Amino acid sequence: MSTILEMRDITKTFPGVLALSHVSMKVEEGEIHAICGENGAGKSTLMKVLSGVYPHGSYDGEIEFEGNIVKFNSLNDSERAGVVIIHQELALIPRLTIAENIFLGNERRNAVGLIDWNRANHEATELMKQVGLYENPMTPINQLGVGKQQLIEIAKALSKEVKLLILDEPTAALNDTDSAHLLDLLRSLKARGITSIMISHKLNEIEAIADTTTVIRDGKTIEHLDMSDPDADQDRIIRGMVGRDLKHRYPERTPHIGEELFRVEDWSVYHPTQQDRIVVDNASFFVRAGEVVGLAGLMGAGRTELAMSVFGRAYGRAHSGRIFKNGKELRLRSVSDAIANGIAYVTEDRKRFGLNLIEDVRRNISGAALGKMSKRGFVNGNEEIKVAEDYRTSMNIKTPSVMKVVGQLSGGNQQKVVLSKWIYTDADVVILDEPTRGIDVGAKYEIYTIVNRLAAEGKAVIVISSELPELLGTCDRIYTIAFGRVTGVLDVADATQESLMKLMTQERTSARSGAGEKE
C-alpha cells in the first residue's frame, strides 16, 4: 500500500487554548484508520484542519495528500480533492428529499442549466444501492431514522467521488443493527479502494474494523497501533488515551440497599400523534433506596418513552397506571410536579433537551432549581456562582470558569453539567437515559463513579443504556423491555448479555406478573 495522507507537526491554537501540538499521522491508501482519544483530546479539531474547516494559515504544520502538499481553505477545496468529512451532527436538511440532500451544492443540471430531477432521482437511487439503502429518492429526510440518515451522508460523499472519507463518531447514535450495517459498509468501501478515517469511542468497533489506530491525548500524538498486532487491544488503546492502566472499566461498589423508594404499576402510554398506537404497555417496576436498576431494550422498545412519561408526563398521551414514592401515590401532571416530588430525568439528548448550549455553566446548573436560590422572584447571583463552583469541583467539570459557555465544553463535561443540574434539585429518584452516550472511556468512568455516589447517598437510580456490558457493570438489577412491555427482571449476579438479549427480543411477557412484585 502507498501513503495517501500524511499530516506533519500540526499545531492549532484557539484563544488561551493549545488544541493540537505537533500532531503527526500517516494513513495508507485503502485502509480503515481509527483515531481515539478522550473528549477534548483534539480528534475532531485535527479532522477539521484536514478538511479545510480550519483553513490553511490558521494552523502550523503541513498536509500531504496523494503525494502533494495541499492547502485547503474550505470544505469545497478538500472535497474537490476527494476528501469528504461527515460530522457527528449530520449536515442534512430535514424537509428536503433524499435526492435534494445528496446533490445539494452539486446539483445535476441539464443543457440549459436547469436541475434535471429525473437524472438526480435516478443517480440518487443508484448511490443508495451502493450503501445498501432502498428508499424512494423523493422521501423527505425527516421521515428517516438516524441510521438511514448516516447512509445518506455516505451516499452524498460517494457522489463527490470520495477518495478519503472521514467519519466523526458515525455510530454514536445508532443501535447495534445499524452500527453493524455501517461497519460492513466501510469494509465494502475499503474493498473498492476508498480510504476511511473513523473517530470513535466504541473501542470494540475499532478493534473489529480498524487496520491502524492513532491515539491522541491532550492534543498530542501518543502512538500509532497496527491493529493486527496481538498487543493492540482495547486495554492498550485505553492506556494510551488516559495515560494510565484502567484496571476496571467500572468502579467497584458495595451496595447498601434499603426499602422500596419508587414504584410504577401498570403504566401505559399512547403515542402523542398516532391515535391507536400504544408505546408503553402495562409496565411495572420498582427501585429501592441505594439501588441502581437498569432498563434494557432494543431501539424502539419504549425505554425512553417509559422514563419520560413517568417524569411528569413529558411524553405521550392517555397515560394510565399508578406511581408511588415511599409508599405514597403521586399525581404527576407536569414536569414541575415531578421535580417538586424529588424525581429527576437526565435526557439521552443533552444538546437538544438537557442544556442551553449558548448559556454558561453557572446558569445551566441552576436552571432546574432556581427557587432554591431566589427570594421574592430575584435570583441571588452570588449564590448561583457559589453553587456552580461547588459542582465544578465535586463533579470534576473541566472548565476554566463557570462563566464559560457550556456549548464549548467536551461531551463528558457537558454530561457532568447536566447531572449537576439535576442533583442540585435534591431529587432522590434519578433517571439516567444513556448517561455515557458519545463520551470517552475516561469520562465514562467518572460518570459511573457519580452513579455510585448517588446510590451511596440512598437515592434510587434508574439507568437506561443500549450497552449491555454497561448495565451489567453498574446495576444491581436489570429490567428488560420489548414492544413497550416489561418482559423480565434479573439480578445482575444471574444476568448475562445472552440472557438479557433473549428477554429483550421476547414479544410477549413471561415475567410481567412478577416484574413489579416486591422481593
pLDDT mean over 42-62: 93
Q: Please tell me whether residues 26 and 151 are part of one structural domain.
A: yes
For the CA atoms of 202, 204, 209, 210, what is the dihedral angle to 10 degrees?
70
Q: Please tell me whether residues 276 and 221 are part of one structural domain.
A: no
Residues near 306 by Cβ (< 8 Å), separated by ≥ 6? Answer: 267, 269, 280, 283, 295, 481, 484
Residue 489 lies in a domain: yes
Which of the listed ranges 230-234, 246-250, 349-353 does the model predict with the highest average pLDDT?
230-234
SS3 state of residue 43? helix
- Tell whether the torsion through CA atoms of 344, 346, 350 and 353 is positive or negative: negative
Q: Please tell me whether residues 272 and 151 are part of one structural domain.
A: no
The model's pLDDT over 200-230, given as tens digits with 9 standing for 90+, comes to 888 888 999 999 999 998 889 999 999 999 8
Would you state the pLDDT for residue 122?
A: 94
Residue 505 lies in a domain: yes
Q: Which of 180, 206, 19, 177 minimizes the C-alpha distance to 196?
A: 206
Would you state the pLDDT for residue 511?
A: 39
Would you state the pLDDT for residue 285?
A: 96
pLDDT mean over 112-122: 90
Q: Please tell me whether residues 210 and 298 are part of one structural domain.
A: no
pLDDT mean over 440-460: 89
Would you state the pLDDT for residue 509?
A: 41
Would you state the pLDDT for residue 510?
A: 40
Q: Which of 133, 132, 143, 137 minimizes the C-alpha distance to 117?
A: 137
Domain boundary among 213, 242, 271: 242
Q: Please tell me whether residues 206 and 342 are part of one structural domain.
A: no
Provide the percentage of residues in the chain whose pLDDT is more than 90. 48
Q: Which residue has the cell 496523494?
A: 66
> Can you give the pTM of this predicted structure?
0.67
Residue 253 lies in a domain: no
Domain boundary among 242, 276, 302: 242
Would you state the pLDDT for residue 148?
A: 87
CATH number of the domain residue 281 falls in: 3.40.50.300
Asked whether residue 513 carries a pLDDT value surpassing 70, the answer given is no
Would you state the pLDDT for residue 173?
A: 67
Q: Please tell me whether residues 272 and 323 are part of one structural domain.
A: yes
Are 198 and 171 contacting, i.e. CB atoms less than 8 angstroms apart?
A: no
pLDDT mean over 120-144: 91
Would you state the pLDDT for residue 519?
A: 42
Residue 62 lies in a domain: yes
Which of the listed ranges 48-62, 177-191, 298-312 does the model predict with the highest average pLDDT?
48-62
Q: Please tell me whether residues 505 and 438 are part of one structural domain.
A: yes
Q: Please tell me whether residues 274 and 411 are part of one structural domain.
A: yes
Would you state the pLDDT for residue 518?
A: 41
Overall number of domains in the chain: 2
Give DSSP secondary structure letters for 223-286: EEEETTSTT-SHHHHHHHHHSS--S-SS--------SEEEEEEEEEEE-SS-TT-EEEEEEEEE
Distances (CA, A) of 160 to 89, 104, 245: 20, 11, 42
Q: Which domain holds residue 471?
A: 260-515
Domain boundary among 195, 212, 242: 242
pLDDT mean over 56-68: 94
Q: Please tell me whether residues 82 and 165 are part of one structural domain.
A: yes
Residue 37 lies in a domain: yes
Confidence of residue 246 (pLDDT cuts 50, 70, 90): low
Residue 255 lies in a domain: no
Q: Please tell me whether residues 143 and 76 are part of one structural domain.
A: yes
Give me the chain's average pLDDT, please. 88
Write out the H or E segment, with its range, that includes residue 25: strand 17-28
Would you state the pLDDT for residue 515?
A: 46
Question: What is the rounded distance in angstroms from the CA atom of residue 298 to the CA atom of residue 174?
Answer: 11
pLDDT mean over 323-345: 93
Q: Please tell me whether residues 315 and 390 are part of one structural domain.
A: yes
Asked whether residue 261 carries a pLDDT value surpassing 90, the answer given is yes
Confidence of residue 244 (pLDDT cuts 50, 70, 90): low
pLDDT mean over 442-450: 86
Q: Please tell me whether residues 395 and 502 are part of one structural domain.
A: yes
Residue 252 lies in a domain: no
Residue 56 lies in a domain: yes
